[in-house]
């Protein structure tokens, strides 16, 4: 009996040890399910070959990404060892202890944040903002920009019609006013026997879509989140005259120049509308651009790329996207996760990342003289990344985001109230959130 | 007195066999228990599960509703806030607006489903060729997943490629691309009602059909003898006898639609603006996106009390109808 018990115990111990060992040589990386994630799977094969670590991936579609992953982090789950989380999560992740603070590791391994594009360090890694406290390594630079149908813009008959209508040449819009003028021109126009529309813009209600779109425009109209001298003091900044004009502009763009039925559209719908030849211009994150270049309908030189046009006073900003890669604090393979980050930070890996469609944030890559001409959209990406602003990255960002989603959608899409009322209401909502947080 | 059978001729009873197989010590123990104790032994697991899965979470939710607890901040101090969460919810105009939206959805879906469901059941109850096939076809929508229904109706409602707008254009001449069923213009609340009605009318129909088929033929025959018109038969026999079934269907649909989430979330995400923001969608966002656990607990309790209160009143009315 004793011998049997001993043998059984030994077998259980052996199985447990084998499992533990297997777990030790595996890493699970969590991210959104999109094209760059597929590129990362390919890139990570080099890491697997070098380290002997097996990489697993958990990708969730964007509309459910935050829900799924924040639940995972919040519940202390051990699904993910590495997380490429959205930039706005950084405050909550840092304050709630979801991510490992990486300063010590960076110092030990000689990884300098100066080596990365400053906007991405602030946007993806720092909490509190503008302090040297790093919670992630900038992994994927992204920004909202515009694509336009270069082939349509270059057609003589279209150029002539535009000149006749507006008195000026049809050129890629440099200002918001020009953008709307061009969009109005294309709206309902017949091109190749098909009715096309002016532009595709973000209007999605459920997650973050309309906020990303509206903020992308509002920044260039003078919108500021709060008083630079007095944090969380929003009166006169969020609802400044410029902000009101910007929101009115976005609504006018929605009213005049989008395809019918686009009251709930975000990245995916924008891609579909553009690729199918439904719209002349499209607002979308830069990650979509490599896909357009290889698309049979809009690739091969048919697409042009635009930095966000300037506002009425010449100010020009763009909404930051993108993410940093972090180590989940309760991973049971901390060494493996850190080894991945160390590997990913290397210049040759970052160079390969860019060549595969990943938007590297490493300055050595993006400041290389050959970078700007390496892809048709490379220069636009660089110029856009230089003018980025981001939404609140507070721990309560989800509450702040839901408030803006409701206010913006209610005004822009449903047409209720005025822009001033929407922004005043937003200040009231955001004030309540900050009061709950004890920050006001 | 029947003649006694020889013992070997009696067929062995399975219960006797099981009793004989019971070990003597256990059998003695069981024999020592009262009927009440045995009943408790059988009921105890269910009661335990009920307490663990329903009652304890309910009590815990009530407790949380008086705090500022946030599930995403496990290390933060949990403060007792009294009835503040309740007063905030009950004085919040946006929440009352969501309640109104939910009531609009609830009332219209039930009215339409009852009228159409009863009519279909009444028609199908008549014997005709292909009756069974038609019944099967009609119940297909309720067999689909709400997520699937939500997804494909977004395509049906699409102004440029969706069939709905083209049907409207065909009958009214209004250009298909000129309006959006899920967009601005006030049609979205009606669009979600149409989808829910399409999906769940068959359920009401089936319950009504069961009611109609439970009415004995002799009652109608007696009415015929008394020369009651068809119209009078309908109002004095059919409707009163189907009413308890119909009320049951209304109860089921009412409770289901009060917690409607998936289909509407997929169709509109609560938009445009907040025109289709049902309380269940709002509650989910408060609880699992904003992580205001204390606040959303109070919200959930208010909704629970509302549904429970209305359902209790309704069940009393249903019982009265049954007793008639």
> How confident is the model at residue A12, as a pLDDT?
54
Comparing alpha-carbon positions, the chain A residue that sits nearest to B79 is: A436
pLDDT band at A25 (very low <50, low <70, confident <90, very high): confident
Judge whether B98 and B282 are in contact, CB under 8 Å.
yes
Judge whether A183 and A199 are in contact, CB under 8 Å.
yes
Q: Which residues contact B67 (CB under 8 A, 6 or more apart)?
A: B78, B79, B80, B81, B294
Assigned domain for B185 exists: yes
Residue count of chain A, please give it. Answer: 440
> How confident is the model at residue A7, as a pLDDT?
55
A74: nearest CB among B68, B71, B158: B71
> Is some CB atom of chain B closer than 8 A to the CB atom of A414?
yes
Mean pLDDT check: name the lowest of A11-20, A292-301, B75-84, B271-280: A11-20
> Is some CB atom of chain B closer than 8 A to the CB atom of A52?
no
CA dist., res. A348 & res. A357, Å (int): 15
Judge whether B301 and B287 are in contact, CB under 8 Å.
no
For residue B95, give how far its alpha carbon lies from the nearest alpha carbon of chain A (Å): 13
At A343, list the tokens: 């590997």
Judge whether B114 and B195 are in contact, CB under 8 Å.
no
CA dist., res. A237 & res. A240, Å (int): 5
Q: Show which of residues 302-361 on chain A sit within 8 Å of chain B, judged by CB atoms.
A: none
Comparing alpha-carbon positions, the chain A residue that sits nearest to B75 is: A96
Helix B56-64 with B293-323: angle, nearest 10 deg: 130
Contact B177 A398 (CB under 8 A): no
Domains of chain A: 27-142+322-389 (3.40.190.10), 144-319+393-436 (3.40.190.10)
Assigned domain for B204 exists: yes
Tell whether the model's pLDDT for residue A79 goes beyond 60: yes
pLDDT, tens digit, 9 for 90 and up, residues A293-302 = 999 999 999 9
> How confident is the model at residue B177, as a pLDDT?
86
CA distances to A202, A344, B6 from B1, in Å: 91, 96, 15
> How confident is the model at residue A19, as a pLDDT?
47
Residues of A in Cβ contact (< 8 Å) with B265: 206
Comparing alpha-carbon positions, the chain B residue that sits nearest to A195 is: B160
Judge whether A354 and A360 are in contact, CB under 8 Å.
yes
Assigned domain for B206 exists: yes
The mean predicted confidence, pLDDT, of chain A is: 93
Residue of B98, B159, B269 to mutate, interface with A, max A Cβ within 10 Å: B269
Is the confidence metric ipTM above 0.90 for this complex? no
How confident is the model over A242-268, as a mean pLDDT?
96
Q: Is the peptide bond before B272 cis (omega within 30 degrees of 0)?
A: yes
Nearest to A254 by CA among A224, A292, A231, A283: A283
Contact B292 A399 (CB under 8 A): yes
pLDDT, tens digit, 9 for 90 and up, residues B211-245 = 999 999 999 999 999 999 999 999 999 999 999 99
> How confident is the model at residue A344, as a pLDDT?
97
Assigned domain for B192 exists: yes
Distance of CA B199 to the CA centre of its chain: 13
Assigned domain for B161 exists: no
What Rg, from alpha-carbon coordinates, does chain B have?
28
> Which CB contacts under 8 angstroms, 24+ apart, belong to A292-296?
A292/A147, A293/A375, A293/A376, A293/A377
CA dist., res. B277 & res. A413, Å (int): 14
Domain, as residue range, for B196:
94-150+181-323
How confident is the model over A423-431, as a mean pLDDT?
97
Assigned domain for B64 exists: no
To which H or E segment does residue A85 belong? Answer: strand A82-86
Judge whether A310 and A387 are in contact, CB under 8 Å.
no
> How confident is the model at residue B10, as a pLDDT?
57
Assigned domain for B239 exists: yes
> How confident is the model at residue B2, as a pLDDT?
47
For residue B201, give how far its alpha carbon lies from the nearest alpha carbon of chain A (Å): 27
A264: nearest CB among B177, B178, B269: B269
Residues of A in Cβ contact (< 8 Å) with B74: 96
> How confident is the model at residue A213, as a pLDDT?
98
CA dist., res. A3 & res. A138, Å (int): 56
Assigned domain for B33 exists: no
Residues of A in Cβ contact (< 8 Å) with B289: 66-67, 398, 402
> Is some CB atom of chain A closer than 8 A to the CB atom of B272?
yes
A205: nearest CB among B75, B269, B290: B269
B180: nearest CB among A92, A95, A260: A260
Give the single-character DSSP code of A121: I
CA distances to A107, B65, B127 from B140, in Å: 63, 41, 21
Judge whether A308 and A384 are in contact, CB under 8 Å.
yes
Q: Count CA atoms closer than 13 A to B305's CA, side-chain side.
A: 8
> How confident is the model at residue A354, as a pLDDT?
93
Q: Show which of residues 61-90 on chain A sit within 8 Å of chain B, judged by CB atoms.
A: 66-67, 70-71, 74
What Rg, from alpha-carbon coordinates, does chain A have?
24
Contact B269 A67 (CB under 8 A): no
pLDDT band at A22 (very low <50, low <70, confident <90, very high): very low
Q: Which is more confidently placed, B321 or B171?
A: B171
How confident is the model over B299-320, as a mean pLDDT?
93
How confident is the model over B49-77, as a mean pLDDT?
91
At B55, list the tokens: 């009652």
Mean pLDDT check: name the lowest of A220-224, A324-328, B19-23: B19-23
For residue B290, give how far its alpha carbon lies from the nearest alpha carbon of chain A (Å): 5
Total of domains in chain B: 1
CATH number for B295: 1.10.3720.10
Nearest to A126 by CA among A326, A343, A351: A326
CA dist., res. B118 & res. B125, Å (int): 10
To which H or E segment does residue A279 belong? Answer: strand A279-285
A409: nearest CB among B265, B272, B290: B272
Give the single-character DSSP code of A316: -
Judge whether B83 and B66 are in contact, CB under 8 Å.
yes
CA dist., res. B121 & res. B135, Å (int): 9
CA dist., res. A343 & res. A189, Å (int): 51
Residues of B in Cβ contact (< 8 Å) with A71: 288
pLDDT band at B24 (very low <50, low <70, confident <90, very high): confident
A416: nearest CB among B268, B273, B289: B273
State phi, psi for A325 to the nearest 5 degrees: -100, 130
The mean predicted confidence, pLDDT, of chain B is: 90
Characterize the bridge pairing of strands A388-389 and A82-86: unpaired
CA angle (B47 as vertex; B46, B49 as ends), nearest 5: 65
For residue B137, give how far its alpha carbon lies from the nearest alpha carbon of chain A (Å): 31
Tell whether the model's pLDDT for residue A2 goes beyond 80: no
pLDDT, tens digit, 9 for 90 and up, residues B145-202 = 999 999 999 999 999 889 999 999 999 999 998 899 999 889 999 999 999 999 999 9
How confident is the model over A11-15, as a mean pLDDT?
51
State phi, psi for B43 to the nearest 5 degrees: -85, -25
For residue B157, give how far its alpha carbon lies from the nearest alpha carbon of chain A (Å): 8
How confident is the model over B93-108, as a mean pLDDT?
96
B182: nearest CB among A95, A263, A396: A263
Contact A264 B182 (CB under 8 A): yes
Contact A263 B285 (CB under 8 A): no
Tell whether the model's pLDDT for residue A21 goes beyond 60: no
> How confident is the model at residue B286, as a pLDDT?
93
Residues of A in Cβ contact (< 8 Å) with B285: 402
Judge whether A207 and A63 are in contact, CB under 8 Å.
yes
């Amino acid at each position: 009996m004793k011998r049997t018990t001993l043998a059984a115990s030994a077998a259980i111990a052996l199985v447990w040890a084998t499992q533990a060992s297997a777990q030790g040589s595996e890493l699970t990386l969590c991210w959104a399910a999109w094209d760059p994630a597929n590129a990362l799977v390919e890139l990570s094969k080099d890491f697997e070959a070098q380290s002997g670590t097996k990489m697993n991936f958990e990708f969730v579609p964007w509309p459910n990404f935050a829900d799924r992953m924040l639940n995972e982090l919040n519940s202390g789950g051990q699904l993910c060892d590495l997380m490429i989380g959205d930039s706005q999560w950084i405050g909550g992740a840092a304050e709630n202890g979801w991510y490992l603070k990486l300063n010590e590791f960076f110092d030990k391994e000689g990884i300098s944040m100066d080596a990365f594009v400053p906007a991405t360090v602030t946007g993806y890694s720092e909490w509190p903002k503008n302090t040297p406290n790093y919670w992630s390594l900038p992994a994927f630079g992204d920004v909202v920009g515009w694509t336009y149908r270069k082939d349509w813009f270059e057609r003589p008959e279209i150029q002539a019609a535009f000149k006749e209508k507006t008195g000026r040449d049809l050129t890629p819009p440099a200002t918001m006013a020009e953008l709307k003028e061009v969009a109005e021109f294309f709206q309902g126009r017949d091109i190749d026997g098909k009715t096309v529309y002016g532009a595709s813009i973000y209007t999605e209600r459920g997650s973050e879509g309309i906020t990303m779109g509206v903020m992308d425009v509002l920044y260039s109209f003078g919108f500021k989140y709060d008083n630079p001298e007095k944090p969380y003091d929003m009166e006169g900044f969020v609802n400044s005259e410029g902000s009101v004009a910007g929101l009115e502009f976005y609504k006018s763009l929605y009213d005049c120049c989008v395809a019918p039925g686009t009251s709930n559209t975000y990245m995916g719908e924008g891609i579909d509308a553009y690729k199918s030849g439904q719209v002349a211009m499209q607002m979308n994150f830069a990650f979509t651009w490599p896909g357009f270049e290889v698309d049979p309908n809009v690739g091969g030189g048919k697409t042009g790329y635009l930095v966000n046009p300037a506002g009425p006073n010449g100010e020009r900003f763009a909404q930051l996207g993108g993410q940093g890669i972090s180590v989940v604090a309760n991973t049971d393979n901390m060494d493996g996760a850190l080894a991945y980050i160390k590997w990913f930070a290397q210049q040759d890996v970052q160079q390969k990342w860019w060549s595969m469609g990943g938007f590297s944030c490493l300055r050595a890559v993006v400041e290389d003289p050959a970078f700007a001409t390496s892809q048709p959209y490379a220069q636009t990406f660089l110029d856009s990344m230089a003018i980025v602003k981001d939404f609140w990255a507070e721990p309560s960002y989800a509450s702040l985001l839901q408030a803006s989603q409701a206010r913006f959608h209610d005004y822009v899409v449903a047409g209720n109230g005025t822009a001033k009322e929407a922004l005043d209401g937003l200040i009231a909502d955001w004030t309540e959130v900050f009061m709950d947080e004890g920050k006001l | 007195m029947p003649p006694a059978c020889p013992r070997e001729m009696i067929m062995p009873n399975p219960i006797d066999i099981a009793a004989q197989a019971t070990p003597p010590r256990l059998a003695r123990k069981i024999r020592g228990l009262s009927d009440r104790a045995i009943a408790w032994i059988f009921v105890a697991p269910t009661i335990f599960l009920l307490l663990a899965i329903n009652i304890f979470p309910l009590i815990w939710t009530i407790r949380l509703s008086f705090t500022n607890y946030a599930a995403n901040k496990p290390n933060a101090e949990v403060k007792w806030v009294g009835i503040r969460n309740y007063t905030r919810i009950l004085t919040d105009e946006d929440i009352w607006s969501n309640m109104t939206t939910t009531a609009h959805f609830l009332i219209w879906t039930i009215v339409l489903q009852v009228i159409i469901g009863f009519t279909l059941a009444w028609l199908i109850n008549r014997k005709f060729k292909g009756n069974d096939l038609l019944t099967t076809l009609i119940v297909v929508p309720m067999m689909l997943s709400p997520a699937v229904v939500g997804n494909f109706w977004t395509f049906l409602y699409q102004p440029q490629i969706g069939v709905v707008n083209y049907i409207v254009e065909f009958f009214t001449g209004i250009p298909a691309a000129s309006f959006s069923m899920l967009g601005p213009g006030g049609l979205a609340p009606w669009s979600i009602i149409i989808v829910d009605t399409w999906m769940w009318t068959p359920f009401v129909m089936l319950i009504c059909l069961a009611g109609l088929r439970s009415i004995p033929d002799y009652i109608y025959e007696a009415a015929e003898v008394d020369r009651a018109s068809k119209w009078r038969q309908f109002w004095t026999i059919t409707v009163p006898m189907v009413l308890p079934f119909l009320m049951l269907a209304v109860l089921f649909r009412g409770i289901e639609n009060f917690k409607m989430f998936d289909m509407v979330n997929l169709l509109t995400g609560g938009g445009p603006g907040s025109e289709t923001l049902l309380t269940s969608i709002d509650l989910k966002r408060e609880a699992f996106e904003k992580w205001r656990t204390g606040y959303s607990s109070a919200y959930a309790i208010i909704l629970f009390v509302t549904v429970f209160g209305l359902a209790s009143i309704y069940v009393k009315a249903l019982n009265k109808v049954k007793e008639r």
